[in-house]
Amino acid sequence: MLDIAIDTIVMRPYVFAFFAAFLLVCVPHVGWRKTLIFTISGYLIAFASEKLSITTGFPYGWYYYIDDTSHQELWVWGVPFFDSLSYVFLTYCSYTMALFILSPLATKGADLVTLETRAIRHSWAVLVLGAFLQTFLDIIIDPVALQGNRWFLGQIYGYYEAGLHFGVPISNYAGWLLTSFLLVAAFQQIDRRREEKIPKGVFAMPFRSLLGPVLYLSVLIFNWVITLWIGEHLIALTGVLIFTLPIVMVTVQAVLRVNRYRKEELQEHLEDYPWSPLNNIEK
């Protein structure tokens, strides 16, 4: 079993690199306890959605896993372990991207800080935007993952009927949207638990507010590079065009919002998060 666990990491180093980056960012953000609870809960939600779909066709539509690597890497009841684990960091980076878009922004030296509050973090706006941001990640990921036999992923799954979007059925994205709602909502619910003192692991990590969005962009860039590497230029171009306008809009709006916050917004942020890097700014 230990050999299988080690081989799983060796076979999927990119997945575990993204997962390690998630831990590096999430722990200073919400603490060890909430990070661990979400990792387990998020994995179980993702696994249940995949197991349900390959058994009943809901929520992603009918697809199947090709059991060629179960002797080399960890599989759980017919589902590759790494696949369900990926949902965890995809949810978190989508959630933090939503926070970055919706929160006031402030600077402290070279650092850029989101003036997030409990109200913003647990809002329906973050839930909806985070779920759509995660679904749009899959719009980039799934077409290239379906070509896994042409790169180091391997051909691990397929659809019984080829879909409209480079072989991916639209039902897959509808399923991702539903599952993403559940995952972001689970993270918000876990984060609602108030701590009497600073949660273990939380600290004012420099550039912490930017690291989640950077992880989001890193997942995009990784998949675009793989798509170009295998020669699927139309898939890559389509993905780039899908995200060009949103990225430009988010960047322009962020520049316009920096240090345009109200004193009341800063006060609410500091009351909710006294360990913020902005806690010595004059109110």
Domain locations along the chain: 2-272
Task: Calculate ∠ Cα 85-88-89, nearest 5°.
Answer: 105
The DSSP output letter for 258 is B
For position 283, what pLDDT does the model report?
46
- Low-confidence stretches of the chain (pLDDT beneath 70): 1-2, 196, 280-283
For position 1, what pLDDT does the model report?
63
For position 281, what pLDDT does the model report?
55
- H-only helix segments in 31-123: 32-56, 81-102, 118-121
Measured between its terminal Cα atoms, the distance across the chain in Å is 55
What confidence tens digit (pLDDT) does each residue in 20-73 have? 999 999 999 999 999 999 999 999 999 999 999 999 999 999 999 998 888 888
Task: Calculate ∠ Cα 268-119-255, nearest 5°.
Answer: 70
Task: Specify the pTM.
Answer: 0.95
Side-chain half-sphere exposure of 202, counting CA atoms within 13 A: 17
Phi and psi torsions of 199, nearest 5°: -60, 145
